[in-house]
Amino acid sequence: MLGALAVGAPPAYTQQYGVTSEPAVPPPPPGVAVPAPLPPPPVYSAPPPLTPAQAPLPPSFLSGLQLIAYPYFWLAGLNMAITTPLARAPQVNISAGAGEIISDINYAPFMGGAEMRYGPFGILADGLHIPLGVPITTRNIFFSGGSSAVVLDVATGDFFYRLFERRAQTIDAGLGFRFWGGSADTTLVGRGPVPTQSVNESRNWADPLIAARYHVDFGNGLGLTAYGDVGGFGIAAHSDWQISGVLDYAWSPSLSFRVGYRSLNVNYQASGAPLGFNLHMKGPLLGLTMRF
C-alpha cells in the first residue's frame, strides 16, 4: 500500500517517508564481487583516403608473364647418311650409339630449351649444338675405313596458342620453324691404288613446322607431356619431324624432374648438288623444368 501511494507522490511525501519512484536494487550477497560496468562500444571511423603515391598500381604486362627453362641431357644415338661428290663413295654412312657419342664429343655440347607464356600464347625455343668425331665403317673395297668430324646445330622455335585447358589437361597448337646447320669433314683411307680422299660438306637451311603439345596431370606431382612436330614439305628438307614423350615429377611449384624419350629426323637433299643429309637421332633424355 505504501509503494502504491508512493507512485506519483509529491516531493514532501517522499522526503518524509524516503520513497522514490525508481525500484530499489538489493545489495549483492556477502562474498560476491560486483561486476564491473561494460566499456562503451568502440566508435569506428572510415580510414583516410589513399594518396596517389599510396594507391596500388594496375596489373602490368610482366605480372602475367611466365618464364620456364628446360635444361636437359639427351642420350641419343645417331644414324646419318651423307651424300658426297666422290664417285667411289657417293654415300657415307655414320652410325653411333649413345655411349659412343658421349665418348666421341670433341667440345662442350649444348642442349636446352626455354618457354615464355602470357595467357593463352606461348613461345617455345629449343637448341642443340653437338660436335662429334665419329669413325666410318666401309666395305673395304676402295677404302679401309675413315672418320668424320660432324657438327650439328639445330634450333627450333614454336609459336603456340592454347586451344584447350580444363582441369588437369592442356592442348597447345601452333606454327614454327627448325634451323639446321650441318657440316661433315670426312676422310676416307684409301686401299691399294685408291688414294685417301677427303671431302668437307656443310649446309644451312630452315624448315617450316606444324607443332602440337599435350599435357596431363595425374596428381601427386606426376604428369605427362607429349610433343610432336612435322615440317619440311619439300620447301627446304623433304621431311623434318620430331616426337617426344616426357614424364614429369613436380618436386616443388618451381622445380620438376623430367625423364622421357625423343626422336629427331630430317631428310635433306641439296638442289642441283651432290650433297645431302639423312639423319635420325633417338634416345632417352633426362632434364629439369624450372619456373620463374
pTM for this one?
Answer: 0.73
Residue range 68-93: mean pLDDT, rounded: 84
Element housing 164 (H / E): strand 143-166
Over residues 249-268, the pLDDT tens digits come to 999 999 999 999 999 999 99
Residue range 8-25: mean pLDDT, rounded: 50
* 80 closest CA partner among 186, 217, 1: 186
CB-based contacts of 111, cutoff 8 Å, min separation 6: 71, 72, 73, 74, 127, 128, 129
Percent of the chain whose pLDDT exceeds 70: 77
Over residues 203-228, the pLDDT tens digits come to 899 999 999 999 999 999 999 999 99
- Rounded to the nearest integer, the mean pLDDT of the chain is 82
Whole-angstrom distance, CA of residue 264 vs CA of residue 272: 26
CB-based contacts of 287, cutoff 8 Å, min separation 6: 70, 71, 72, 73, 246, 257, 258, 259
Over residues 41-58, the pLDDT tens digits come to 777 677 777 655 555 656
Q: 106 pLDDT band (50/70/90 cuts)?
A: low
* 146 closest CA partner among 155, 132, 134, 136: 136
Domains of the chain: 66-291 (2.40.128.90)
Which amino acid does the sequence have at 14?
T
Phi then psi for residue 217, to 5 deg, are: -100, 130
Which amino acid does the sequence have at 83?
T
Over residues 164-178, the pLDDT tens digits come to 998 899 999 999 999
Q: Is the pLDDT of residue 2 over 50?
A: no
Separation in Å, CA 95 to CA 19, 173, 285: 120, 34, 19
